[in-house]
Amino acid sequence: MEFRSDLENLDEDGYTQLDFTSRGLTRRPVKGLFSSPCPPKWIIHEKSCYLFSMSLDSWQRSKIRCSQLGSHLLKIDSSSELDFIESQVSSQPDHSFWIGLSRHRSEEPWHWEDGSTFSSNLFQIRSTATQENLLHNCGWIHVSTVYDQYCYVTSFSICEKKLSK
């Protein structure tokens, strides 16, 4: 930084101008320091990038938004991924997040957004439906539990984008 005490250093309004240029230094680009295969605001874990969306939408609108971002609603494939997701959402105990689980009718099996059938090997889906309302056909995660929910309720969501090999 260069400072001159004479009037050359004043602009037309009388404010002091500061010169932050470096003299005699060459800049070298630093590569890889902050590079990530994930877009900004996405979090990398193993072979996927995750976006924890903080805008409120229905399950269907959340699915569309993820698709527009070149991703899909979260599909939990492994216990490692489940642990990672639980650690992320547990830090936000006031919020629930849509994931890629749904079914057409309450008596039908759960499916992931990619069409694969849900297996209860990793976790159970806790029912919140009552006898009066059996239309809880979309899945969301709250803290460390996955619940069924009415698909038109607005909530946050988790988008997942697999890293290319």
Taking the chain (165 residues) in runs of 10, the rounded mean pLDDT of each run is 49 51 43 71 95 95 97 96 95 94 90 93 85 79 93 96 85
Q: How far apart are the C-alpha atoms of 34 and 107, rounded to whole Å?
A: 48
Q: How far apart are the C-alpha atoms of 67 and 149, rounded to whole Å?
A: 21
pLDDT of residue 30: 43
pLDDT of residue 164: 79
pLDDT of residue 17: 53
pLDDT of residue 36: 78
pLDDT of residue 32: 47
Would you give the end-to-end CA distance of the chain in angstroms?
46
pTM of the model: 0.75
